[in-house]
Each structure stands twice: as C-alpha cells, then as structure tokens.
C-alpha cells in the first residue's frame, strides 16, 4: 500500500504516464494510467502528452512507443523481452528472404508483414521491402489489404497466428523450413511461436466441453490452429475481454490466454483453458517495487532501463507502424 501511494505521488509530481499491458500483474495494473492490448497501447502511449512514459510490458511494446514518439523518454521498470520477438533477428530475416529467392520468388514479389511482437530491426527491414506491421487486433484486415498488392505474403514471426489468419481468409500457406512446397503458396510463414499460448491444447477444449455442457471457449490467435478451430471466439486480448464481459454472469467460459488477464475476468463464470498456469514469464517479472524504482530514477535523473532505438532503424520501423495505423 505504501509503495502504491509513493508511486501515485511520484508520477503526479514528475508528470509521468504509466502504461501497462493486460498481462501485467494486478498490482501493476492498479498503478497504471493506460491499460490495453499492444495496438491500443502503441496508439494511446505515443499520443500521450507527458514527456516520460513508463511501459510495463515487454520490450517490443516500449520500443514501438519510442519509435512512434521519439521525443518521449520511454523507460521500463525491468528489461523484459517477449521470447517470440527474439525468434527472428536481422540475420534470420535476411536468410529467409534468400530462401524465398532461391525457391524462385523474387524479392520484389514479396510483401513482408511482421507481427508487432518483433524487434525494431525487423520492422525496419519489412518497411524497406514495402511491408508493414500488424497486431492480433487488426491482423486479418492488414493481410486482406496486403493481398491487394498481388504479392506473396511473408508473415513473421508467429507461425500459429499466420496459419490461423490464412485459414480464416481462405488462402494457401506453408511454413518456411517445415514444408518443402512453399513457393506456390499465397502466404509463407516464419516458424516462431509463443511459449505461453503453446500450452493450450485441443484436449483442454474437449475436457472443458465434456465437463461443463454449454461452456463457451475464447482463445488468442497465437494458439495452435487445432485449438482455434475448436473455439467459439478468437481475438486479441482486448477483444477477448469485451467478448467475455458482454456475456451473462451465469455463462461458463474458458479462456485460452495469459493467466493474469483471465484471472481478472473471474467475476464472470470464467476458467483458464489449461491444467497449467499459463503465465508469461517476462510479463510477470515487473513488480510494484520495480515501478517505484524506475520512478525514483526519473526523480534523481539516473534514468534506468531507458529505451533507445537507433535513428535510421527507428525511421524505417516507424514507416512500417504508420502503414498499419493508417489502415487500422
Ligand atoms: P495483444 O496484442 O492481443 O495484446 O497480444 C500481445 C501478446 O503478446 C499476446 O501474447
Ligand atoms: Fe510474447 Fe507470448 Fe509473452 Fe505475448 S505471451 S509477450 S507473445 S511470450
């Protein structure tokens, strides 16, 4: 309680805005001014008037705000990275493009689309090839627009999101490095994944349906297609929250996404769609104590964990983000 009071005092005194992703611990959510999914947070936080922004989430999210609003000083209570975003770097991106070219797909015929869960260097490379970013909230819209260019889509880094989108839109797809005959497909997906959403299985869906007749199942599109196929609803974190909240209190629902978010929905008759506790390890790193620590570092001008993006990379990454924001 004392820590929370001190946080509220300091953020007011120093004109600091605190942004938190839905997967953060409850104690961090209680201290936040802006709460949302990755699309909402990149919009709201970059438009926020305060000079200082503390981002409670993972690195690519804080980096996206710095990319869109470079004059802002963006700090994180802890340097926490999304493991999926770490699965592709500049070198592996370049190798993937070489692989497409070796299979007879010239670079000019490729439209790269990167999930926002990627590092600025990937967003920059994607922009240079005419591509853009998407988030789970707007991915279908972005892919449909991208298809209008009449090119092959190279989607990264989340394989499951890519496969789920392709199925929904009705286009052919293959995974680079897994499927031999990828050159003829409409969309080629990179072989990355989310370790948290991999925990949900089709057997979990069957288990809940058997045990609770009439139950509804909502999942995040980072889940395996075999899980998504069995769900009643698939959506981004904010879309899942809205969907659950619109249901009557007595409706039984099982949700396949990160534990902290689902746990806050338990005022409804809501279950976590897993026999494990699907916590995002890095999202859970940030505590109120860390938050107070970073606020104190603004007060004493030591600025711990400040996010910087190299200028050329930032400019290009911004192009990829802006293209998404224009469409979304
Ligand atoms: P949202 O954009 O749906 O908030 O998802 C971000 C994320 O990292 C999901 O694992
Ligand atoms: Fe990354 Fe998965 Fe954590 Fe989301 S839940 S931040 S995709 S590791």
pLDDT band of residue 46 (cuts 50, 70, 90) is very high
- What is the distance between the alpha carbons of residues 219 and 209, in angstroms, rounded to a whole number? 14
Q: Is 328 part of any domain?
A: no
Co-location of 215 and 149 in the same domain: no
Does residue 146 sit in the same domain as residue 185?
A: yes
In a 13 Å sphere around the CA of 117, the CA atoms on its Cβ side amount to 29
16-21, strands of its sheet edge to edge: 34-36, 16-21, 52-56, 73-75
Q: From CA 138, how far away is CA 226, in angstroms rounded? A: 21
The number of folded domains in the chain is 3
**Residues 66, 122 contacting (CB under 8 angstroms):** no
Atom of ligand 1 nearest to the CA of 82: 8
Integer angstrom CA distances of residue 70 from 39, 65, 73, 137, 293:
18, 8, 8, 24, 23
Tell me the pLDDT band of 328, cut-offs 50, 70 and 90: confident
Identify whether residues 72 and 92 lie together within a single domain: no
Residue 288: which CATH number? 3.40.50.10800
pLDDT at 268 over 90: no
> Do residues 181 and 229 both lie within one domain?
no
pLDDT 10s digits, 209-246: 999 999 999 999 999 999 999 999 999 999 999 999 99
With 0-12 / 13-18 / 19 or more C-beta atoms within 10 angstroms meaning exposed / middle / buried, residue 92 is middle
Say whether 240 sits in a helix, a strand or coil: helix
How would you label 296-318 residue by residue, b for 16+ Cβ within 10 Å and e otherwise? Answer: ebbeeeeebbbbebeeebbebbb
211 and 134 both lie in a single domain:
no
Q: Which whole number is the average pLDDT over 106-112?
A: 96
Do the Cβ atoms of 94 and 135 come closer than 8 Å? no
pLDDT average, residue stretch 2-20: 97
Q: Is residue 76 part of a domain?
A: yes
The residue range of the domain holding 112 is: 85-194
Report the nearest-CA residue for atom 7 of ligand 2: 194
Q: Are residues 94 and 39 in the same domain?
A: no
pLDDT band, residue 185 (cuts 50/70/90): very high
pTM above threshold 0.85: yes
Average pLDDT, the chain: 97
Cα–Cα distance between 22 and 10 in angstroms, integer?
A: 23
Site to probe by mutation for ligand 2, drawn from 56, 59, 82 as the one with most ligand atoms within 8 Å of Cβ, is 82
Ligand 2: centre distance to CA 31 (Å): 22
**90 lies in the same domain as 77:** no
CA distances from 65 to 7, 38, 61, 81, 88 (A): 22, 10, 7, 15, 20
Mean pLDDT of 47-62: 97
Same domain flag for 46 and 115: no
Q: How far apart are CA 84 and CA 322, in angstroms?
A: 22
In a domain, 315, yes or no: no
Q: Beta strand pairing status for 216-219 and 73-75? A: unpaired
Residue 140: predicted pLDDT:
96
Sign of CA dihedral 180, 172, 82, 243: negative
- Tell me, yes or no, whether 76 and 92 share the same domain: no
Q: Is residue 140 part of a domain?
A: yes
Q: What tens digit of pLDDT does each residue of 120-165 get?
A: 999 999 999 999 999 999 999 999 999 999 999 999 999 999 999 9
* CB-facing half-sphere around the CA of 231: CA atoms within 13 A: 25
Q: What is the pLDDT of residue 267?
A: 85
Asked whether residue 129 is assigned to any structural domain, the reply reads yes
Q: Which of 125, 115, 192 is nearest to 159 (CA)?
A: 192
What's the whole-number mean pLDDT along residues 258-272?
95
Q: Whose CA is nearest to atom 1 of ligand 2?
A: 82
Please indicate, yes or no, whether residues 148 and 185 belong to a single structural domain of this protein: yes
Give a yes or no: residue 323 inside a domain: no
Pocket around ligand 2: residues whose beta carbon is below 6 Å from it? 58, 82-84, 117, 194-196, 222, 258, 280, 283
104 and 202 housed in the same domain: no
Total number of residues shown for the chain:
328
Residues near ligand 1 with C-beta < 6 Å? 37-39, 82, 117, 135-137, 194, 220, 222, 236-237
Q: Are residues 98 and 122 both part of a single domain?
A: yes
Identify whether 318 is part of a domain: no
| Range from 89-98, 178-187, 216-225 carrying the lowest mean pLDDT | 178-187
Domain's final residue, options 165, 194, 223: 194
């Amino acid at each position: 309680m004392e820590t929370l009071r001190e946080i509220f005092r300091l953020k007011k005194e120093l004109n600091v805005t605190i942004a938190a992703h839905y997967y953060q611990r409850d104690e961090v959510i209680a201290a936040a001014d802006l709460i949302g999914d990755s699309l909402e947070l990149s919009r709201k936080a970059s438009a926020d008037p305060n000079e200082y922004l503390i981002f409670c989430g993972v690195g690519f999210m804080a980096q996206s705000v710095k990319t869109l609003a470079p004059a802002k000083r963006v700090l994180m209570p802890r340097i926490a990275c999304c493991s999926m975003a770490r699965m592709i770097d500049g070198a592996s991106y370049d190798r993937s493009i070489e692989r497409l070219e070796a299979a007879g797909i010239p670079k000019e015929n490729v439209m790269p689309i990167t999930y926002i869960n990627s590092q600025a260097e990937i967003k920059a490379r994607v922009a240079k090839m005419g591509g853009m970013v998407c988030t789970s909230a707007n991915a279908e819209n972005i892919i449909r627009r991208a298809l209008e260019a009449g090119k092959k889509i190279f989607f990264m880094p989340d394989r499951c999101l890519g496969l789920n989108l392709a199925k929904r839109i009705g286009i052919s797809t293959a995974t680079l490095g897994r499927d031999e005959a990828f050159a003829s497909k409409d969309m080629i997906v990179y072989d990355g994944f989310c370790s948290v959403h991999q925990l949900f299985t089709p057997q979990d869906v069957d288990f809940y349906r058997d045990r609770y007749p009439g139950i509804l199942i909502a999942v995040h599109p980072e889940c395996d297609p075999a899980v998504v196929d069995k769900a009643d609803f698939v959506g981004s974190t904010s879309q899942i929250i809205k969907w659950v909240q619109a249901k009557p209190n007595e409706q039984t629902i099982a949700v396949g996404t990160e534990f902290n978010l689902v746990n806050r929905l338990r005022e409804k008759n809501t279950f976590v769609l897993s026999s494990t506790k699907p916590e995002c390890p890095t999202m859970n790193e940030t505590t109120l104590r860390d938050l107070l620590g970073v606020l104190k570092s603004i007060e004493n001008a030591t600025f711990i964990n400040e996010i910087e993006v190299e200028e050329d990379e930032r400019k290009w990454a911004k192009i990829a983000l802006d293209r998404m924001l224009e469409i979304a």
